[in-house]
Amino acid sequence: MTAEQREIQALTREFAEAEIAPNAARWDRDHGFPRELLARLGELGLMGVCVPEEHGGAGSDFLSYILVLEELSRADAGVGVTVAVHTSACTLPLLEFGTSVQVEEYVPPLARGDAIGCFALTEPGSGSDAGALVSSAERADGGWHLRGSKQWITNAAFGGTVLFFARTDAGTRTARGVSAFVLGTDEVEITRTEEKLGLNSSVTNDIAVDTFVASDRLLGEENHGFRIAMSTLDGGRIGIAAQAVGIAQAAYDVSLAYAQEREAFGHRIADFQAIQHKLVNMSMEIDAARLLVHRAAWLKDQGRGVTEAGAKAKLFASEMARRQTAEAIQVLGGYGYTKEFPVERYYRDAKITEIYEGTSEIQRLVIARELLQKVHVPAS
């Protein structure tokens, strides 16, 4: 890591340990953190870490952003996903695919944290098969009439900007014929707030849209919005992988400390090989996951393709986090199952990383496609 990357990591860790971690159990119970936290993260430059300075961001690279997500998630994974969706699923695609006018209008408020970003792809009837979405965009005088319902939209209640995917070619039923639009949350009705197993401090909404927007809200090319969704998720998955690493690291930290304090049969439980093996496996798998995440982030910083590397990082890190947070509960025994220690929260929070931004099954599908594309099939 460069000196700048280490500095951003240290700054985030310091802030997260002082201002986020001590409140995480309460925010989990209360189902939310104060909006003020996002303003503070904005002041530190953490709402637009890898957004160029001329667009209101901190001007750092993608790896720095990934380091920030790991540190935030280590303190509170709900805060981690809020920043992840805001940045890699909304701000970055606007920066990459927006016209200069769109970038100028939407990116600076997002990068400063004045507006919060959302990504509205999933619908009640289309999750893994994202291309089956039925929200529609019909041409109307000078623009588009957008209609549809979206489900599990992280951050919608905060207010800000929504990347909204709708079918612009009514003759298609697959990923072809879908376009991306930029909406304000004032153009969206929040119809429900989801109750979840974990990540309770983050907000997850159902939304409904029935609105006219001018033609300048189309992002990228008409009928080619699915590519925007897919390349957005390629980068976003690296962020979710970093979130998983942060959760697992937090679980390991608690387990290591507990194992050296708790006594049984006249010894610290850390002296028993059964516990040592658990700690070793945790530490090793966290290292391995983190290296996959950093490789994917480094490739992205080099402008190289990350479809395979990002999917591998997410797949391994998320399954590792689920496995190792369960092991953390096992190290703490009965205490691990209670609210007295945070490991039960880490376990609940880790599970979602195997589901959102593409399930583990979809990551395997994406990786398999990439691997098979590389195989040279000799002509018969």
CA distance 336 to 29: 17
Specify the residue, 9 or 122, whose C-beta has the smaller distance to ligand CAA. Answer: 122
Specify the residue, 49 or 331, whose C-beta has the smaller distance to ligand CAA. Answer: 49
C-beta of residue 57 within 8 angstroms of C-beta of residue 42: no
Token pair belonging to 153: 């939209």
Q: Which of 8, 54, 15, 32 is nearest to 203 (CA)?
A: 32
CA distance 317 to 289: 5
Calculate the CA 213 to chain-centre distance. Answer: 28
Q: Which of 10, 37, 35 is nearest to 22 (CA)?
A: 37
The nearest distance, CB 261 to ligand CAA, in angstroms, is 36
How many degrees, rounded to 5, is the angle at CA 285 between CA 197 and CA 7?
85
Token pair belonging to 27: 């925010």
CA distance 1 to 9: 10
CA distance 21 to 340: 14
Q: Which residues bind ligand CAA (CB under 6 A)?
A: 81, 85, 89, 119, 121-122, 128-131, 152, 154, 174-176, 224, 226-227, 230-231, 233-234, 307, 356-358, 362, 365-366
The nearest distance, CB 187 to ligand CAA, in angstroms, is 19
Q: Which of 100, 102, 110, 189 is nearest to 153 (CA)?
A: 189
Specify the residue, 221 or 263, whose C-beta has the smaller distance to ligand CAA. Answer: 221
- List, by residue number, the catalytic residues: 357
The nearest distance, CB 284 to ligand CAA, in angstroms, is 27
Amino acid at position 371, single letter: L
CA distance 329 to 337: 6
The nearest distance, CB 280 to ligand CAA, in angstroms, is 31
Specify the residue, 60 or 307, whose C-beta has the smaller distance to ligand CAA. Answer: 307
The nearest distance, CB 373 to ligand CAA, in angstroms, is 11
* Other C-beta atoms lying within 10 Å of the C-beta of residue 280: 11
Measured CA distances, 348 to 74, 85, 153, 355 (Å): 14, 19, 19, 12
The nearest distance, CB 91 to ligand CAA, in angstroms, is 14
C-beta of residue 183 within 8 angstroms of C-beta of residue 114: no
